[in-house]
Structure 1
Amino acid sequence: MSFNQYKDKIEEGDTVILFLGVDDTLTIRIKHGKTHQTRYGAVRHADLIGKQYGSRITCIGGKGWLHVLHPTPELWTITLPHRTQIIYSIDISMITLQLDLKPGSIVCESGTGSGSLSHAIIRSIAPTGHLYTYDYHQQRCDKAREEFTDHGIGDLVTVSCRDVCKDGFDVEHIADAVFLDLPVPWDAIKSAKQAFKLQGGKICSFSPCIEQVQRSCDQLRESGFVEVTTVECIARPYDVKTICLPPYNMGYIEGSTESSDDAPTDTKPKSSLKGFTAKCGILPKETAGHTGFLTFASLYTE
């Protein structure tokens, strides 16, 4: 199977998303003879083979049902096994947009981590592009390489175990875009510049702290990058409520303690004005932290 090429029916070896609810999804690898337990009951893998993706499956035991979905980078992001902190879809969408990723793009990424962003990049640059992704941790590299192969996208990515902050990138003049998710991204910016094609490209650095952003921006400018911009993507939930708004007191409404004797007689209402209701978006009193800062810059050459 492939995350990039959709098919109709589930087969042995497929990675399948079990959708039990909006906040309850999980991933399984189909293997004949296995059974997976959920809070709604058991699901036999053999019963899923041959089923249409999107089908509703009744769990064994009659406690409930679920849907079986074809995997996508977005669904993988919310169900993948965490080996590191990951980048979520709200930031990924901004990254793919600002880096101008499209089929055929060549991208360098460091570090690979849990592969959340990697899957989204590969979908954006497929079928003719390529991702070079780096991580200094050998086990993470091995696991990411295994997942890419299992997901049918192994030919679109090269995984390397390398500390780019110390050793730099092992490619030159091939990249359209570079992404950095590193503790000290400023140490990798000079070598990242060498990875770009001769006509230049775009770079993005993800950092959780504003101090990291400041040092990165200074290094980007020193290295000849322009259009340096930092954004922060925050999802702010709103509660929609019906509220009652009181009438505006002009000073002469009947029953008001602030009524004016100077108001014209014909403007004085005979009875009190009533308020009206309206729909209103209410922000929560507290909003959980920030996702991180995304710093973008461009490199142009003559």
Structure 2
Amino acid sequence: MSFVDYSDVIQDGDVAVVYLGHDSMTHIKVRHGAQTQTRYGAIRHSADLIGQRYGSKVTCTKGGWVYVLHPTPELWTVTLPHRTQILYTTDIAAITMLLELKPGSVVCESGTGSGSLSHAILRTVAPTGHLHTVEFHQQRAETAAEEFREHRVDHLVTVRNQDVCKEGFGVTGVADAVFLDIPSPWEAVGHAKAAMKRHGGRVCSFSPCIEQVQKTCQALAEHGFQEVTTVEVLLRSHDVRSVSLPLPDFGQDSPAREKEAPPRQAAVGLKTTTLPREIPGHTGYLTFATKPRT
């Protein structure tokens, strides 16, 4: 099992995602002889998981059942242990697209936090790319490094415990893209520029407050970055439903009515969409910029 390579069969030592229904999920570490308790009863790892195919329907000891899924960055985002506030799939999708990440890309990230974005980056840059991620907090850095080893993606990532605003990313002239998720990203813009390749690349900064965005944009301009753009991603769902509308009756003398025509139907069915009354609130601002070729 690896977060960047799909496996068909559940094996001892894998990290699996258990779907409990009603959008409720959790992750477990599969171990020979272990059990995991759920509201449907116990899942016996040796008898119920090991050797089974991912996606299997597993019956628990109380008769209820769950699905066991192969881990993906999206599933990890909704089941990971929170050490910090995290980025969710809506923002992550925009970040990976607008940073122009692809297999083979080299990316610098700060801070690592709970590793939500890190896993999505690793899947995108695999199998030949690399992620250099920096975390200021020592225990969070050590925990993230251990998770990467457990998820078998440690060959694609280097974790550093240091202050990116003072010490940088620990690399120079190697990155195709840089991502900043720190309280004062404007203090790290110079280090981000130094970490990027001579032919240029893209940088993204995530900030919850517009004052942070203003300082970051000013720092990006001072360091020669171009195409500075700030976006806010809001998710809005449309409620699709069927409605029945009566057909108008223009009377016997209507030119649209023909004597030989069959009788009209009383109503017609249509599909319509309704906007939600409330929109999910603000998460953060994403500021993107391009380093020109030097």
Q: Is the shorter-chain TM-score for this pair beyond 0.5, marking a shared fold?
A: yes
2:205 aligned partner, one-letter code: S
1:55 aligned partner, one-letter code: S
Shift of 1:86: 0.6
- Choose from 281, 289, 292 the match for 2:284: 292
Aligned residues: 286
* Rounded Cα–Cα distance in structure 2 between residues aligned with 1:55 and 1:244: 42
Equivalent position of 1:186 in the other structure: 186
Equivalent position of 2:31 in the other structure: 31
Query: 3-state DSSP class of the match of 1:287?
Result: coil
Structure 1 residues 285 and 246: alpha-carbon distance in aligned structure 2, compared to 1, 3 A threshold? farther
* Rounded Cα–Cα distance in structure 2 between residues aligned with 1:247 and 1:215: 59
Shift of 1:196: 0.5
* Rounded Cα–Cα distance in structure 2 between residues aligned with 1:220 and 1:275: 60
Equivalent position of 1:200 in the other structure: 200
Shift of 1:268: 11
For 1:60-79, what aligned pairs fall within 5 Å after superposition?
60-62=61-63, 64-79=64-79
* Rounded Cα–Cα distance in structure 1 between residues aligned with 2:237 and 2:98: 24
1:145 aligned partner, one-letter code: A
Query: 3-state DSSP class of the match of 2:149?
Result: helix
* Rounded Cα–Cα distance in structure 1 between residues aligned with 2:229 and 2:154: 33
- For structure 1, the residue ranges without an aligned partner over 5 or more in a row are 255-264
Deviations 1:260-295 (A, max 9, x none): xxxxx956999xxx7755322112212221232111
Do the aligned partners of 2:234 and 2:280 also contact (CA within 8 Å) in 1? no
When structure 1 is superposed on structure 2, of 155-164 and 207-216 the one drifting more is 207-216
- Choose from 280, 291, 297 the match for 2:272: 280
For 1:135-214, what aligned pairs fall within 5 Å after superposition?
135-214=135-214
* Rounded Cα–Cα distance in structure 1 between residues aligned with 2:213 and 2:267: 49
Query: 3-state DSSP class of the match of 2:46?
Result: helix
1:286 aligned partner, one-letter code: E
**1:121 matches 2:121:** yes
* Rounded Cα–Cα distance in structure 2 between residues aligned with 1:109 and 1:42: 39
Equivalent position of 2:263 in the other structure: none
* Rounded Cα–Cα distance in structure 2 between residues aligned with 1:171 and 1:138: 19
Query: 3-state DSSP class of the match of 2:95?
Result: helix
When structure 1 is superposed on structure 2, of 93-102 and 137-146 the one drifting more is 93-102
Query: 3-state DSSP class of the match of 1:86?
Result: coil
When structure 1 is superposed on structure 2, of 68-77 and 235-244 the one drifting more is 235-244
Query: 3-state DSSP class of the match of 2:3?
Result: coil
Shift of 1:246: 7.3
Do the aligned partners of 2:126 and 2:156 also contact (CA within 8 Å) in 1? yes
Query: 3-state DSSP class of the match of 1:124?
Result: helix
Equivalent position of 1:52 in the other structure: 53
* Rounded Cα–Cα distance in structure 1 between residues aligned with 2:269 and 2:212: 47
When structure 1 is superposed on structure 2, of 109-118 and 236-245 the one drifting more is 236-245
Shift of 1:176: 0.6
* Rounded Cα–Cα distance in structure 1 between residues aligned with 2:220 and 2:245: 51
* Rounded Cα–Cα distance in structure 2 between residues aligned with 1:179 and 1:25: 28
Do the aligned partners of 2:108 and 2:131 also contact (CA within 8 Å) in 1? yes
Query: 3-state DSSP class of the match of 1:214?
Result: helix
Structure with bigger gyration radius: 1
Structure 1 residues 245 and 224: alpha-carbon distance in aligned structure 2, compared to 1, 3 A threshold? farther
Equivalent position of 1:260 in the other structure: none
Deviations 1:101-143 (A, max 9, x none): 1121111000000001101111111111110000110010000
* Rounded Cα–Cα distance in structure 2 between residues aligned with 1:104 and 1:199: 16
2:61 aligned partner, one-letter code: I
TM-score, with normalisation over the residues of structure 1?
0.88
2:271 aligned partner, one-letter code: K
When structure 1 is superposed on structure 2, of 100-109 and 143-152 the one drifting more is 100-109
* Rounded Cα–Cα distance in structure 2 between residues aligned with 1:76 and 1:42: 22
* Rounded Cα–Cα distance in structure 2 between residues aligned with 1:301 and 1:115: 31
* Rounded Cα–Cα distance in structure 1 between residues aligned with 2:234 and 2:183: 21
Structure 1 residues 246 and 223: alpha-carbon distance in aligned structure 2, compared to 1, 3 A threshold? farther
Equivalent position of 1:40 in the other structure: 40
2:285 aligned partner, one-letter code: F
Do the aligned partners of 2:229 and 2:289 also contact (CA within 8 Å) in 1? yes
2:55 aligned partner, one-letter code: G
* Rounded Cα–Cα distance in structure 2 between residues aligned with 1:9 and 1:168: 41
